[in-house]
Amino acid sequence: MHIKNYAKRVEDFLYEYENYSNGKVKIEKLNPRPDSEEEEWANKYGIEGNNMPMGDKIYFGLAAMAADQEEVIPMLDPTREEQLEYDLTRMISRVQSPDKQKIGIISSLPVFGQPPSGFMQQPQAMQPWLLIDELRKSYEVSQININETSIGDDIDVLLVIHPKEISQGLEYAIDQYVLKGRNLVVFADPFSISDPVQGQQPRSSSLPKLFKAWGVDFDESKVVIDFDYPTRLRTQDNQVEENPMWLSIQNQAFNSNNIITGQLDSVLMPVAGAVKKALDSKYEYEALIQSSANSSMTDAFRARFGGGGQFRRDFKASVDKYDLAVKVSGKFKTAFPEGKPKSDEENDEQDTEKAPDHLTEGKAKSTIIIVSDADMLSDNYYVSQQNFLGFKIARVFNDNLNFLLNSSEMLAGSEALISIRSRGKFERPFTKVQELEKKAQARWLAREQELIRKVDETNQKLRQFEQQKDASQEVIISEQQEEEIKKFQEEKRRINKELKDVRRNLRADIERLGAAIKFVNIFLMVFIVAISGSFYALYRRRKIS
């Protein structure tokens, strides 16, 4: 029944396309009965029937054709209903534009998947990340190895994901690629959770030489903690706590004036850094995603220990917000003024002169998008997958993927589809409730920090009293110590009572808000409708008489 209802909505939507196309779009509906020509036609275009429990087959696919161009959706996924308009519009766009643009991807993460290693840790092959499948629907995707030293001129947009320990030759190739007027997206990371390295090996990535040339600063040893955008995580002892290092960004943090982020609702960034505009930068700089004002920076190595409680002790909110994703534009200058760097295999006699095609300044204006987290592109942080009738169905639950696809489409020059992609709403949060919780948490945090400070002061006084004792009094508690302990215990009880009052008042405010909403929805709206109906009935009666 669920599939049947969704099929009806899809059919109605398709006929709207036909209605508004002025004859340019024609819809044909076929029923692939067993051993029929329609069944052969469906199989020809890759729309295969899926066996139902009763033995019947269900066909629920779509094919678009224009001249010799074809685009197919083998199975319409009900969980992608919010993206239906985008999927259909993209199909029509693709069959009208036969030449696909090319996207190059440089990454030290296994975004293209991995074959089985033969070890217990990876007995099966890893599939490519969902972003690769999504990009391939609209672009030709090319993998560029981190040890290569050149980037082809046929690459229209370049994605650099977690550029950890890339070669100088490739860094130079990226520099020259940008100076040719090409566009680029960089996902750096101060602490990559998705990096498969073991032990204490570095998990950070950056392009410090290039970032400096592009007029931005990125400290890969620091991460952002934000108590307004924490993520609820389950700890090792099976407790749920809010971790401010995992940022669940809400729509207030997005730049509403930029086409990339203007219609995004939520993004999850596990352990992100901060991007800053360099003081001497002369290039256009625009923040796309920012932290809240209730945030600060901490050392990246603390991400290894996890837990949100550890950050409360010494937390002090910063005055400014931190930029988590930015867009930089301009005619950049090279980060390699002396020319192409020599590789390890080259001797000193080689490469003593600059290459004849070496660029020192940009030929045209380029746009670079820099994001301070690469883990947000991992499937684990934006999609849940399940098997449905033999198909792998992916349900996207935030805008991580949309941010990447919007960026790619904007840099590739296809802005028309971005507004369609971002129309769907994944969730409608209770913003008033969230606001109440944030106020309570801010007060709670202040009192908690006061209690911790009192503990430290009491311990300090106790140590001073202990040092003043004689050797014969070491195991005896002095009157001063006993009095100080009593004062501390009384203060602790007072603060704990206040914390309970804060939590109790928060619950009371939320319950009052919920009661008001229920009253409006259940009683007030019914009353308004009844009164309106009564007035309308009186009006009709007087008009008839």
Q: Is residue 445 part of a domain?
A: yes
> What would the two tokens of residue 71 be?
């685009």
Cβ atoms of residues 385 and 135 within 8 Å: no
**Paired residues of 270 in beta bridges:** 246
Are 165 and 252 found together in one domain? yes
Average pLDDT, the chain: 81
Are 392 and 538 found together in one domain? no
Integer angstrom CA distances of residue 267 from 225, 246, 292, 369, 510: 15, 11, 14, 16, 25
Q: Within 10 A of 515 (CB to CB), how many other CB atoms are there?
A: 10
Letter string b/e over residues 472-486, b meaning 16 or more CB atoms within 10 A of that residue's CB: eeeeeeeeebeebee
Q: Pick the more confident residue, 41 or 184.
A: 184
Cβ atoms of residues 213 and 205 within 8 Å: no
d(CA 391, CA 136): 18
Q: Within 10 A of 361 (CB to CB), how many other CB atoms are there?
A: 9
Are 334 and 236 found together in one domain? yes
What pLDDT is attached to residue 229?
92
Are 159 and 181 found together in one domain? yes
Mean pLDDT of 208-215: 96
CATH number, domain at 326? 3.40.50.880
H or E element: which one contains 78? none
Q: Is residue 196 part of a domain?
A: yes
d(CA 370, CA 159): 10
Are 283 and 179 found together in one domain? yes
Q: Is residue 352 part of a domain?
A: no
Are 202 and 309 found together in one domain? yes
Are 219 and 368 found together in one domain? yes
Check whether 474 has a pLDDT greater than 70: no
Are 60 and 194 found together in one domain? no
d(CA 261, CA 251): 9
Element counts in the chain: helices (H) and strands (E): 11, 21
Q: Are strands 323-330 and 366-371 parallel, antiparallel or unpaired?
A: antiparallel
Q: Is residue 349 part of a domain?
A: no
DSSP per-residue letters across 117-143: -SSTT--SPBPPPHHHHHHHTTEEEEE
Cβ atoms of residues 248 and 266 within 8 Å: yes
Check whether 149 has a pLDDT greater than 50: yes
Q: Is residue 290 part of a domain?
A: yes
Contacts with 416 (C-beta within 8 Å, 6 or more apart), sequence order: 93
Is the pTM value of this prediction over 0.75?
no
Q: Where are the beta strands (DSSP E) in 157-304?
A: 157-161, 183-187, 216-218, 222-226, 231-234, 240-243, 246-250, 266-270, 275-277, 284-290, 295-299
**Paired residues of 223 in beta bridges:** 298
Are 249 and 377 found together in one domain? yes
Q: Is residue 92 part of a domain?
A: no
CA-nearest of 136, 139, 213 to 174 is 213
Provide the number of structural domains found in the chain: 3
Count of residues in the chain: 545
Q: Is residue 93 part of a domain?
A: no
d(CA 34, CA 51): 12
Cβ atoms of residues 29 and 63 within 8 Å: no
> What would the two tokens of residue 96 be?
């009208």
- Residue 389's Cβ-count burial label (10 Å; 0-12, 13-18, 19+) is middle
Q: Is 410 helix (H, G, I), strand (E, B) or coil?
A: helix
Contacts with 432 (C-beta within 8 Å, 6 or more apart), sequence order: 513
Q: Within 10 A of 451 (CB to CB), how many other CB atoms are there?
A: 18
Are 398 and 461 found together in one domain? no
Residue found under tokens 């319950």? 511
Mean pLDDT of 510-539: 79
Q: Pick the more confident residue, 334 or 483.
A: 334
Host domain of residue 50: 2-73
Residue found under tokens 């949060």? 429
421-468 pLDDT, tens digit per residue, is: 655 544 555 666 666 666 666 666 666 666 666 666 766 766 666 666
Mean pLDDT of 4-16: 86
Check whether 189 has a pLDDT greater than 90: yes
Are 46 and 143 found together in one domain? no
Check whether 242 has a pLDDT greater than 50: yes
Are 137 and 242 found together in one domain? yes
SS (H, E, C) 364-382: CCEEEEEECCCHHHCHHHC
Check whether 187 has a pLDDT greater than 90: yes
Check whether 119 has a pLDDT greater than 60: no
Q: Is residue 87 part of a domain?
A: no
